A and B are shown apart, each in its own frame.
Chain A
Amino acid sequence: MQRDSSSLDKLLENPRVWRGHNQAHAPAGLASGYEALDNHLPGGGWPQNALTEILVEHYGVGELRLLMPALARLSTADNGMDYNDPGWIAWVSPPFQPYPPALQQWGIDLSRMLIVRPKDASEMLWSAEQALSSGTCAAVLLWSDTLDDQASRRLQLAAEKGQSWAIAFRPPAARHQPSAAALRIELLAGREGTRVSILKSRGGRPAVLHDLL
């Protein structure tokens, strides 16, 4: 009897065994503010201390709106009197200027915004890693066309180390590259609105959500 259960444990430890949707084991996620999305994510929200990839072809299709409720909560959560409290949100090489009045309308605490504009890809990766592992940033958003497998692994590790949330915006072509991200989402925009497609979700299942944004 004893031997049986231990051999079962052993079998389950094998990485080739894929266990189905198991909400009880998934660490609690960060509520996204979109109920339909939360229902499809293991842990009921954005995976924490991990890398999330958002594949998007054009900007302005709701890629930031998707994140805003969660970011707003992160930026205001711990913010006490201390300037050095965590809860900072770092933007690494954003394609345009994040517009503060709009951020404020979404409830983001502007005093916790850090915008970094590195000159090249290696500086970008370094800056993102620094921000992620510092422990001060609750979330780090980065935009890159050239992220590779190794870089995504480094970001994932930095996010674990600093207990932060890394969000990488990448072009849709990146779908065919392997990635260490815990969650990959593609935004499919069209005249009728933006569909959210979950390509990969650690401990979850792929899905396509309509009418979310």
Chain B
Amino acid sequence: MGRARRHHRSTRELFDQQSLALDEVSATPRVVKAPPVRRLWFCVYLPQLPLEASGPGASARAVVEEKQGIHRVLLACPKAEAAGVVPGLSANAALALLPGLVIEERSEVAEQQALEHLASWLEQFSSMVSIAGPDLLLVEIAGSLRLYGGLLKLRQQIATGLEQLGFSASLAIAPTPLAATWLARGGRRACVRDPANISTALRTLPLSCLDWPAATCESLVGMGVRNIGECLRLPREGFARRFGPQRLLELDRARGRLPDPRTGWRAPERFCADYEMTEEQSDRELLLAICGELLQSHERFLLARQLGVQSIEFSFFHLRSSATVLRLGCVEAERQASRWSDLLRLQFEKLVLPEPVIAVRLQSGHAQALRAESGRLVFRGRTAGRGIRFSIAQLAERLMARVGRQSVAGVATVAEHRPQLAWRARNLLQEKTLGEVSMARGKLQRPLWMLPEPARLNVDDGYPLHQGRLRILDGPERLETGWWDEDSIARDYYTAINPRGMRLWVFRTRSRDADWYLHGFFG
């Protein structure tokens, strides 16, 4: 009996040495050597983020995502779910179930912004906040416990705050980031403080909490492994061979056997400086000089941090009336004071100050990493000779500052047969490449000048008139298209010349009245 038991124990020990779960099965309490710095990770998991990122709404809402051309429901609010709108349903079916349903396309940008917003909010609780995934935030709270009066109070404070901000989160606390993450994904309101208890806490979590590839989980299920506890009992070597060392690394990290460093998140910094004067000033040159001084310190601030900003805001404070605000924008993140004062000068000319100014404030927008470009080694003929003062972006910016944002544009073609829709204006500052090709690539000439709207021509004795009778040179080119929307056309286009030698692009509608219209000039 004794021998049998010993034998039994020895096989168990043998098994334990090979298995992943070395410490949890051993019966004797081990002396846990406290690590030099004990960490405690607070995980905020936001399963409803796609829905909540767009803010609260009174009506029933659902977020859809396009998959293989079909919009399917990704998440639905409780109201919609009660009506039977469940994830995976196609958008049409959801609308059939609930005609008043507000359907929104998933916006990953909005989600990221919401996540960053939450990260900055969480920075009040700890100096170490990390964005661990598209819906995960980790906060290291070991150092903050005393300040906030203990773990439970801190947890309560974060939970209440999140609720007030309109986010439903699943929270978990564990000594390692991964364990906290998995517990939060599993929806356990777990709070593990001792690293020795991690394995126990993880044991019953389903495999889906691991966020491993579906194929890995399937083959684990095929082996009869359904939760993390069973996964931990597998032999290390075979596990690594079968599923890759990365998975083994994750399991080790989750249990604190290997370090798991995380990168912290920092809310972007903003510059804000005031210049106060001893008496009111209305000398514009002086005010410009003050702005220049503020811009200089702004440049030093950004330079030290290797940052640039896209927008800045000057506020001119008056004694009696409210402050006059001047906003300046820039295409690419910029820090040079000279460039900003260039833009400022252009706008300052037009600025109306109702009263003398007593103080000036410069406030910068969101700082972003400055994108530096390396110089060009090879000189090419023209580039080398021409002294470039402004890049095109700078030129466009200057023009926009004086002439107006709408009055400066590029052009692009659109793949469309209807002449008036075959082009569009291009925002020079945002679109740097052209996407589509023109449909009018063929032999049929298009006019270089286009009228904003076709102009109706008078007809004399069957001949259309435009400063004299028109003579048809070429045509017709029949365009009959666009039946699918409201701008359908049915026209015969001709090239015509008038007595003054102007070449015109005219068309005749194919409706009953058969009117003639002028649409462009062959400039």
Interfacial residues, chain A to chain B (CB-CB below 8 A): 57-65, 68, 77-78, 80, 82-88, 94-106, 110-111, 113-119, 123, 126-127, 130-131, 133-137, 162-163, 189-194
Residues of A within 8 A of B451 (CB): 96-97
24 A-B pairs whose Cβ atoms sit less than 8 Å apart in the complex: A58-B467, A60-B449, A60-B523, A61-B503, A62-B522, A64-B448, A65-B522, A84-B388, A84-B392, A86-B388, A96-B521, A97-B451, A99-B447, A99-B448, A101-B440, A111-B434, A114-B410, A118-B407, A134-B394, A134-B395, A136-B392, A190-B501, A192-B501, A193-B501
A85 touches B383 (CB 8 A): yes
B449 touches A59 (CB 8 A): yes
Residues of A within 8 A of B408 (CB): 114-117
User: Contact partner of A101 among B376, B413, B501, B522, CB < 8 A?
Assistant: B413
B440 touches A61 (CB 8 A): no
User: Contact partner of B521 among A57, A60, A87, A135, CB < 8 A?
Assistant: A60
A105 touches B399 (CB 8 A): no
A135 touches B500 (CB 8 A): no
Query: Distance in Å from the Cβ of A43 to the closest Cβ of chain B?
Result: 16
0 or 1 for each of B493-509: is its CB under 8 Å from A? (1 = yes):
00001011111100000
B450 touches A60 (CB 8 A): no
Chain A residue nearest to B437 (CB atoms) is A104
Residues of B within 8 A of A113 (CB): 410-411
Residues of B within 8 A of A95 (CB): 449
User: Contact partner of B380 among A60, A80, A96, A114, CB < 8 A?
Assistant: A80
A59 touches B411 (CB 8 A): no
A78 touches B403 (CB 8 A): no
Residue B423, interface by CB 8 Å: yes
Query: Distance in Å from the Cβ of A196 to the closest Cβ of chain B?
Result: 12
Residue B351, interface by CB 8 Å: no
Given contacts A58-B500, A60-B504, A84-B393, contact A98 B446 (CB under 8 A): no
Residues of A within 8 A of B512 (CB): none
B502 touches A101 (CB 8 A): no
* Bound form: Cα–Cα A133–B388 in Å: 9
Residues of A within 8 A of B394 (CB): 134
Residue B241, interface by CB 8 Å: no
B399 touches A130 (CB 8 A): yes
* Bound form: Cα–Cα A63–B392 in Å: 26
A134 touches B390 (CB 8 A): yes
5 closest A-B pairs by beta carbon, nearest first, are A189-B501, A60-B521, A64-B523, A102-B446, A60-B502
Residues of B within 8 A of A77 (CB): 382
Given contacts A61-B502, A61-B503, A126-B402, contact A96 B449 (CB under 8 A): yes
User: Contact partner of A114 among B376, B385, B392, B502, CB < 8 A?
Assistant: B392
Residue B387, interface by CB 8 Å: yes
A65 touches B448 (CB 8 A): yes
Residues of A within 8 A of B386 (CB): 86, 135, 162-163
A100 touches B523 (CB 8 A): no
Chain B's interface size range is 35 or more
Residues of B within 8 A of A60 (CB): 447, 449, 502-504, 521-523
Query: Distance in Å from the Cβ of A86 to the closest Cβ of chain B?
Result: 6
Residue B281, interface by CB 8 Å: no
Query: Distance in Å from the Cβ of B463 to the closest Cβ of chain A?
Result: 14
Q: Which of B403, B412, B497 has the most CB of A within 10 A?
A: B403
Residues of A within 8 A of B523 (CB): 59-60, 62-65
Given contacts A78-B380, A86-B382, A136-B395, contact A191 B521 (CB under 8 A): no
Query: Distance in Å from the Cβ of A90 to the closest Cβ of chain B?
Result: 8
Residue B396, interface by CB 8 Å: yes
Residues of B within 8 A of A88 (CB): 392
Chain B residue nearest to A164 (CB atoms) is B386
Query: Distance in Å from the Cβ of B513 to the closest Cβ of chain A?
Result: 26
Residues of A within 8 A of B502 (CB): 58-61, 189
> 10 new A-B pairs (CB below 8 Å) besides A100-B413, A130-B398?
A78-B382, A99-B447, A102-B450, A113-B411, A114-B408, A134-B390, A134-B394, A163-B386, A163-B387, A190-B499
* Bound form: Cα–Cα A91–B399 in Å: 12
User: Contact partner of A131 among B395, B402, B501, CB < 8 A?
Assistant: B395
* Bound form: Cα–Cα A192–B501 in Å: 7
Given contacts A59-B523, A130-B399, contact A115 B380 (CB under 8 A): no
Query: Distance in Å from the Cβ of B429 to the closest Cβ of chain A?
Result: 11
Chain A residue nearest to B392 (CB atoms) is A136
Residues of B within 8 A of A103 (CB): 411, 448
Query: Distance in Å from the Cβ of A102 to the closest Cβ of chain B?
Result: 4
Query: Distance in Å from the Cβ of B509 to the closest Cβ of chain A?
Result: 20
A101 touches B392 (CB 8 A): no
* Bound form: Cα–Cα A153–B447 in Å: 32
Residue B229, interface by CB 8 Å: no
